[in-house]
Structure 1
């Protein structure tokens, strides 16, 4: 019995070592050496052995999945203070900081001629826009993880941080205690993928990361697939560093993910020029940064320069063009979406933000208003943030003590006057057939490019058809006649004929496009394609039960129930029947190649499309690539094998060249690869 338990323990230790090595290659080095399937087999074996033995090793990857919901966050007192950084807003501020550093060094050397400080050397790192993490390791084991808090005391979030697969649970340094600082982030490509199937899409990567790490349910954190970069060892007991290079080598050698961008400069003029380049390149990164951090390299110089009451004198944050500012909240209106969800839209006093004049801002729902203390916020000054060229978001009051006029929550639908129902965090109008904004929104979505792609159709067209021809359902579109359309305002015979031709053409759209067009709750384009690929037939899908649907990738219980309930709705069944009777096919697309050829040079390769193709659309190219066995991705990384760049290719092409990824810019060569020439 003892021998058997020893063999199990030894095998568990072997599996933990192998799995952690593969995780480090995958999540930190971005150079995986085994497939996901092979990893899963090893992981499943470890899980079975842990269940059999009743034990779990302290660095087992099974500890990362997220456990029970926590009752609250426990305070954690940092072993050494986490300092804020002074900020430089422009080149003048940066030059002034350099002058102060040189003066402080000169003053010190005048007083200590026997042990002078070296001429300042500087290091530049990216300033990540996420949530600061402080990790405590004792004897090589991750003992605690916390937020920054006020710099002295933070909140313990160990269970949440353990779900970040790039964070080591153990490190080789076992002789003492260290605290390391970094930033928890959500990559933009991960955010994009998450939002394709999310019931509640996330607004931006920063809030997605911060919200996940401060969520009492670690399973929510795990679902966000967060990442992290580490850049400092604040408290060190049992080890010391002479300079920044030694410290970074320690972090890398201990298995911490360290961002590849770290630059050292002896000439400050070269450093200033580099900051301008970072500002230009930042939008091509797969994560958010809001500036760069400049530090003195030599630690003896850091000790000599010391700190003010708030900041270290030996470091400064160079902030890029402001993406946060304050303005006055003037009003809140309530908009009705195609699903009946009522969303608040804030109107603010016009203000310049990141080169754009802002007047409208996002407020997600009533809970968002309450959390941000904005219930009595009309007329008060608020912080707003713009990220990734999306509509800015209100973060909260600039002065929490300021009281303004009340935001009145609606009790009836602003579109149709029907009573509203609170479902979860949102208000909904249940008048699906008689609420104009809902109907117009659904029909506009149905006709959009990623759905039925009905050319010349717009929201204004949908509204006109609603008002003048009584169009209340997508099926009504296929009953329209030339006589009806030419009688409308701004509808001549040519425009009417073009619309009817576009409607006729839409009848041949594939099943995935049709499913996306239907607007099934909690699903999007990616889920629609998954359903189409799996079932290949509309009738089979409509007959599927929720339990059956959960077997599909990325289809959980809520999504499965949404799909099954949607197709059980008699109104939806009748609408689909009418469209099919009108000639709409909704058939699964047949691949250009029935069975992918493993010998094809693109088989198994990850390919990214960017720019405009002239001889076929990007969607057509993507479908043909997938039929050849390639994986078409939305963003460029080290795992990308090929970037196909059309005209006016932007940041993805730049990133590909920076990473040394192969680029194909010859469209004729692409056609040959796709077997079209």
Structure 2
């Protein structure tokens, strides 16, 4: 037999055995039989010098990587809103019921189906986003900020429950899941390890973000998959259909998934999962409740941060007691002084806890901890993540006093108490504040200056007297070369990244300024509404409070910030040095006289003359409504190359179809 043909047979056969063993937990052959076939494949690969891309020999990990490559997800990976008790869960469902009822009242001819729910486990590992094109795994990444993650394809290939190829070959899909380390695997690993791992969560996350894929392979990770975030040429009617698609395509889907038509049954299921939690061979920190119908999901949509059609039900945090040993005080970029408690090390939910946040002096008073040093206190990992001190154990003797600082621990400036917080008002001479502001200004969601870090900000402060973000735009190449660990390449890369940041849009610039009491959604609202930096800076409290979601406190913060001469001077300095801070150009008014005006249009397949997003924007500007699924209400389908089931459905329903891309482009231009 031809060696290549035999290698193809072995890859297919070993792939089948891996799938049955690692995904279905149904081994078809003994380890001895599997090893004989695997050894034969290794021998043939050595003799021919060729390795097939989906060969199981690629799962052992390759060479050490130099770094992670950013990966932009095809669609955003959303966070989930949280419910921490049944009342909050019921409030979420009441909102869903109201929104669907309102929609049905307005659309009596095409109402949404009765609500039904899916309940899944919420795994405690690292989110994975896998990209398959024409059936082959071409990329894997972390969640990152939900828009851009880190490419970890080499690491993910070591997970044997992740299929390297899938039966679905009709275009590109992105599949989300969770990389985990089973507790039994962790236990076995620690018996042999020179440095035992503390917990399965960190073990999985650390392995997947390790630049050496061989280290990842040694952890023997697994993965469960629960969502198709992006898919070409296929749609799903409901969640159950999506899960069946994942199973059919060799993905490992957790068996603990239930469906309910009656919401009252959801709470009982959550209680049952919580009772079974300790018997599972992996960590979970709650369960996820989702609306099953995809059309209902589309109607409910999203907030700035969360889908309205799903909620994470967080289980009650675990608690224990330990001794409060000391309290230190940290200075943030706004001058706020935050106490950090040092406790006697204690194991909690698989993690050794040594530090706990105390929030502020008001928190210390409220929890009766003023005289608690040296005493035993309750601690909890809030939502199984953030350690916090709940209070002193009853009947404990009074301990030593937690002394509140009178002067800033960083610069010695007298502190002021405002509300429950202590503040250092020395914003021009307090190193942590200045370094924090510069770091925030350069962060990914702000001016996105690549390669910049808190360490870099501190070095520039100490050695080049950088004192405000505007100073970044006057850095010189020769000055950077004098810094420790700054070679020509690093210096040039930093200057190029700073130059590129000058073109960031207005919303990013406003967020970068660090206006008190404002976040990304508020700064985007300001940019969209006012359209220019000058207009935002001139806005009055009355104009601001007229906007949705901006109250009096936020409005006062914005007005006060831009009235500050120091802030004004800093902004003008940046503008003089080339920062643009412009809002995206306003779209043209929506046309009402085009071929597409008033039509419901579906895009499917691959277009070559413009992207899918560009096509959708052009259509919407011409008065079309662009949707993702074909139905009787669809007026037109634009079918590019490799159009699949949507095209077939359109023809079955007699919907108008444009399959000639040149004709589509011509109509867009008319």
TM-score by length of 2: 0.50
Matches within 5 A, 1:267-666: 267-323=262-318, 330-331=325-326, 347-348=342-343, 361-362=353-354, 385=381
Deviation (angstroms), 1:348: 2.7
Deviation (angstroms), 1:361: 2.6
1:409-468, CA deviations, whole angstroms, 9 ceiling, x for partnerless residues?
Answer: xxxxxxxxxxxxxxxxxxxxxxxxxxxxxxxxxxxxxxxxxxxxxxxxxxxxxxxxxxxx
Q: How far apart, in 2, do the equivalents of 1:26 and 1:190 lie?
A: 15
1:109–1:325: structure 2 CA closer, same or farther, 3 Å change rule? Answer: farther
The residue aligned with 2:155 is: 160
The residue aligned with 1:39 is: 34
Q: Secondary structure at the match of 2:285?
A: strand
- Selected match of 2:24 from 17, 22, 29: 29
The residue aligned with 1:140 is: 135
Deviation (angstroms), 1:254: 0.3
1:333-375, CA deviations, whole angstroms, 9 ceiling, x for partnerless residues?
Answer: 9xxxxxxxxxxxx843999988x9x9x8358xxxxxxxxxxxx
The residue aligned with 1:195 is: 190
1:116–1:352: structure 2 CA closer, same or farther, 3 Å change rule? Answer: farther
Would you say the 8 A contact 1:361–1:391 is kept in 2?
A: no
- Selected match of 1:58 from 53, 76, 81: 53
**Structure 2 residues not aligned, in runs of 5+:** 329-340, 356-372, 374-378, 390-407, 411-670
Residue 266 (structure 1) aligned with residue 258 (structure 2): no
Q: Secondary structure at the match of 2:273?
A: helix
Q: How far apart, in 1, do the equivalents of 2:286 and 2:199 lie?
A: 17
Q: How far apart, in 2, do the equivalents of 1:103 and 1:332 lie?
A: 48
- Selected match of 1:249 from 239, 244, 247: 244
1:303–1:199: structure 2 CA closer, same or farther, 3 Å change rule? Answer: same
TM-score by length of 1: 0.50
1:189–1:278: structure 2 CA closer, same or farther, 3 Å change rule? Answer: same
Deviation (angstroms), 1:31: 1.1
Would you say the 8 A contact 1:141–1:170 is kept in 2?
A: yes
Q: How far apart, in 2, do the equivalents of 1:145 and 1:299 lie?
A: 25
Deviation (angstroms), 1:322: 1.9
The residue aligned with 1:102 is: 97
The residue aligned with 1:184 is: 179
**Structure 1 residues not aligned, in runs of 5+:** 334-345, 364-378, 395-402, 406-677
- Count of residues paired in the alignment: 359
1:251-296, CA deviations, whole angstroms, 9 ceiling, x for partnerless residues?
Answer: 0000000001110001111111110111011110000000000000
Q: Secondary structure at the match of 2:225?
A: strand
Deviation (angstroms), 1:35: 1.5
Q: How far apart, in 1, do the equivalents of 2:388 and 2:26 lie?
A: 36
1:234–1:387: structure 2 CA closer, same or farther, 3 Å change rule? Answer: closer
Would you say the 8 A contact 1:122–1:265 is kept in 2?
A: yes
Residue 234 (structure 1) aligned with residue 229 (structure 2): yes
Q: Secondary structure at the match of 1:31?
A: coil
Q: How far apart, in 1, do the equivalents of 2:91 and 2:386 lie?
A: 35
Deviation (angstroms), 1:77: 0.3
1:148–1:329: structure 2 CA closer, same or farther, 3 Å change rule? Answer: farther
Deviation (angstroms), 1:331: 3.8
Q: How far apart, in 1, do the equivalents of 2:274 and 2:28 lie?
A: 34
1:160-190, CA deviations, whole angstroms, 9 ceiling, x for partnerless residues?
Answer: 0000000000111111100000000000000
Would you say the 8 A contact 1:362–1:391 is kept in 2?
A: no
Runs (4+) of structure 1 moved beyond 6 Å?
A: 324-329, 349-354, 390-394
Residue 222 (structure 1) aligned with residue 214 (structure 2): no
Would you say the 8 A contact 1:353–1:386 is kept in 2?
A: no
1:117–1:9: structure 2 CA closer, same or farther, 3 Å change rule? Answer: same
1:127-164, CA deviations, whole angstroms, 9 ceiling, x for partnerless residues?
Answer: 00000000000111100000000000000000000000
Would you say the 8 A contact 1:50–1:56 is kept in 2?
A: yes
1:137–1:297: structure 2 CA closer, same or farther, 3 Å change rule? Answer: same
Q: How far apart, in 2, do the equivalents of 1:28 and 1:314 lie?
A: 29
Would you say the 8 A contact 2:347–2:353 is kept in 1?
A: no
Would you say the 8 A contact 2:346–2:354 is kept in 1?
A: no
1:213-232, CA deviations, whole angstroms, 9 ceiling, x for partnerless residues?
Answer: 00000000000000000000
Q: Secondary structure at the match of 1:290?
A: strand
Q: How far apart, in 2, do the equivalents of 1:12 and 1:306 lie?
A: 47
Would you say the 8 A contact 1:12–1:46 is kept in 2?
A: yes
